[in-house]
Amino acid sequence: MTQLSVNLNKIALLRNSRGRDFPNVVEFARKFIGLGVPGITIHPRPDERHITRQDAFDLKTALADYPEVELNIEGYPSDDFLKLIEQVKPHQCTLVPDDPNQLTSDHGWDFTRHADELDTILKRIGDAGVRTSVFLDPDPEQVRLAAQSRANRIELYTEAYASAHGTDRQSEVHEQYRAAAALARELGLELNAGHDLDLDNLPGFLTIPEILEVSIGHVLTVECIEMGMPTVVNRYLDICANSA
């Protein structure tokens, strides 16, 4: 069964837009957990445009009440970010190759250029007792190189799949992800996935076997506004429960 991890970035963005602590990130984490969500994801950026460093500490404290719920912190591995990981010690740290000024994540790591750098970083995170995951395109060469690194998991960047969903390229692109996932499993890598997955395209994606976790935030937040949190969360949990 696939685990759903709800990304709280957009809740934090709404809060920051008004200059007061409403909506409260921890309170919304508790709401999602109360609906059965087993994972929480945050992506603190250097400019703290949404999630802040303090949010990371506050969530770590709050989630002590929910030992079954996983905290995943994703981000670019600057020294400040790595120090945050060492202090908070989330269950998982997902490394994303974002420029600080990027609007959102838009590509996976290139191990042909960054293998040595990433291995040093992955060792540092692993030494802190944190499971490691790296954001990756569904590229067989990159999967092979990631398997030679210290990464415990890869997170397949699913923008290409989401963009192709409902078009005549849907089957072709889905097969690229299926092949990359099969290769990763063969090489001993565990699998996560995320980016622009939603209620419409997620069921098809999760016909790929053994996706352990999907991280969903932006679209899920919009869907909650449209349909209500209980309806949306229950639909996601049902999809994940019926995954391959």
* pLDDT tens by residue, 86-128: 999 999 999 999 766 655 666 799 999 999 999 999 999 999 9
Q: How many CA atoms lie within 13 A of 124 on its CB side?
A: 17
Report how far residue 82's alpha carbon sits from residue 177's, in angstroms, rounded to the nearest whole number: 29
* Known catalytic residue at 195: yes
Please list the alpha-helical segments (H only) found in 102-194: 111-127, 140-147, 159-164, 170-186
What pLDDT score was predicted for residue 35? Answer: 98
* Known catalytic residue at 213: no
Sign of CA pseudo-dihedral 7, 10, 16, 22: negative
First-residue to last-residue Cα distance in the chain: 7
Catalytic residue (choose from 155, 174, 195, 213): 195
Q: Which residues contact 170 (CB under 8 A, 6 or more apart)?
A: 164, 204
* Known catalytic residue at 74: yes
Omega of the bond leading into 23 within 30 degrees of 0 (cis): yes
Catalytic residue (choose from 74, 155, 213, 223): 74
Catalytic residue (choose from 43, 155, 213, 223): 43
| Beta strands per DSSP E along the chain | 3-7, 39-42, 70-75, 92-95, 131-136, 153-157, 190-194, 211-216
Report how far residue 1's alpha carbon sits from residue 241's, in angstroms, rounded to the nearest whole number: 5
In the three-class reduction of DSSP (H, G, I as helix; E, B as strand; rest coil), residue 74 is classed as strand
- Domain annotation for the chain: domains and CATH numbers: 3-241 (3.20.20.70)
Q: Is 7 annotated to bind ligand?
A: yes
Q: Is 166 annotated to bind ligand?
A: no
What pLDDT score was predicted for residue 106? Answer: 62
Q: Is 150 annotated to bind ligand?
A: no
Q: Is 107 annotated to bind ligand?
A: no
Report how far residue 153's alpha carbon sits from residue 194's, in angstroms, rounded to the nearest whole number: 13
- For residue 131, give both structure tokens: 């499971």
Q: Is 45 annotated to bind ligand?
A: yes
Report how far residue 193's alpha carbon sits from residue 216's, in angstroms, rounded to the nearest whole number: 9
Residues in the chain with pLDDT < 70?
99-106
The conformational region for residue 36 under phi > 0 = left, psi -120 to 50 = alpha, else beta, is: left
